[in-house]
Structure 1
């Protein structure tokens, strides 16, 4: 493995990063308080319905240009990209990618106000994933102020459409069309600090919806209940025997239905995720659930539908890969306990293209995916040092071994 003499310098970087607290918080607020969903462009008198603007994407580019990242633009697929030029690559564009998704787990359709306390920042979308974008657009100034030099080019990338039905489309299009060689990629998530992911299990996320056909308001008052239909679907899914190996899970994470306490529900839905290290097991279970849905629909004469929302193929970098080993050493140097797990993030797409990649968390957080989500400020400085440390390892050639 390449010499990583810089590891002993990482704890000292934390103090230098802490001195840039105001810059970091300002950029987190700039991005985080801006809508994560495209907004309709309006004039004084007319609303132009067919022109949507992603304000976060616009701010991403504007902020990088303001701090001197001259080669900042949006690619053909709508991904904002900034280039921090390295010192040793000339025109080869061989480099490092640091990326994060611009969309949020809670869609933000209007401006919001974040609350900045002494130790925390709170507000919708802060953990997933506004803090990561705030750090990305802070990196050029942090690198400059710390007097760090990278031989390789560093590409800062934001992915505007990844979550839910978008199914990582921004990242997929970016990776499939990227023209330059990449030594390694780092995908950023808000939390938890210590999160280190270098493999992805196979996964399918799906929704099952039930609708009761009716023609008059009283026809179904004592008839079929969509919530009970969904309940039967859940019972049959939970009765499926799971293999002990490979480790496999079916998680039911969302359920909704009905309009009023005293009326039978005419519609209901659930969201689930199938996850396994085997793609064939995931596909088999999805087919099995499809059979369950079809049989219950026929037997109860209801409209019951299974729809795939997103999927990821199983792929693994390997614990023995130099990037993984180096990343663990970086975390250890900063006294961060590694938390190893599977990632269904953009990282899986990089690995699928043969590009070494890891996903890391930047700080500690609470109330994930809620309106009052919050992050801790102090651990964020170590989280940024961790990011810089992994970038330095890639810059020194660990991915070329």
Structure 2
């Protein structure tokens, strides 16, 4: 029997693997996967990461390990022929702002295990797993900004959805947080990545007698408890909390009302006005469009927590309060006590940028006056200079002349 191409009819076929959703996976078990085959117009209907409801026919095909073996000893490969695909649970703004149930956890080195780096040593290649570094951080920029992940590897070029909330905890580089340094220098993460988080809080170990006493009493009570079963009687059961979050995420899709939209615009303008400085034309940056998008997502999440179908003004007020508290915690100038988001966006404060501009102007003026005597530029400021340079490295500002 031979195949005659001009007398055959060809149809599209796609192999799809589906996996159980986290909210139905029992604790301590891994999600089950099933292979499915889509034909003709059902090809490319769904994308990786979509929640779908599939109707199909469950089939099994014998796969013999040895052609001489009988059919009773052969293996059977099961799959599903898809008849219908229905996409469900579409998310607004491309993000799901809720906690995933039975989510998978991984440490830093394990999360970077997919990255492989090679190094040639004596004609041998030393392969190191988790060799990500800055390249790994750059991948997170797209995940946090567009909620997508682009892959171009092994001949596969595709874009995956990254509809998940990211909760990150970081320790300071020097084992203790230095309040005189910006947050980007304390936790050794690039400003472009930190600025993409909706809320950034600092949890500092401050000496407070009331808090220290409350913490000590709580830790001691864990050892003095006669009945361990009653220690968590006032806490919401984990089963109830899991069902609550799952229902709110899957069943509630709040819609933004006109009053809430006006309130969002008003709160964004108020946040922008906080950074106005009548003495300067530049001013401090206290809010950007990222804060506005964060406010929208937080407002919808707050309405979803209330099982509400509409986002009201109270949801916007709560979202604005969270953003103000987060900015006050992580983006406050230690010298002035004012909020400056450039501390997160660029790693520099307003007065540092102003000082850099003044010194650059002084350097340009000094070079114009010296002409060819550039050797005397090692003393950047003279008696008539108005820019303080004692605590600033001259070389750093000399490099800005190349711009």
Q: Which structure dedicates a bigger proportion of its chain to helix? A: 2
Larger Rg: 2
Structures share fold, TM-score greater than 0.5: no
Normalised by the size of structure 1, how large is the TM-score?
0.25
Q: Which fold has the larger relative contact order, with Cα–Cα distance below 8 Å and residues 6 or more apart in sequence?
A: 1
Normalised by the size of structure 2, how large is the TM-score?
0.25
Q: Which structure dedicates a bigger proportion of its chain to strand? A: 1
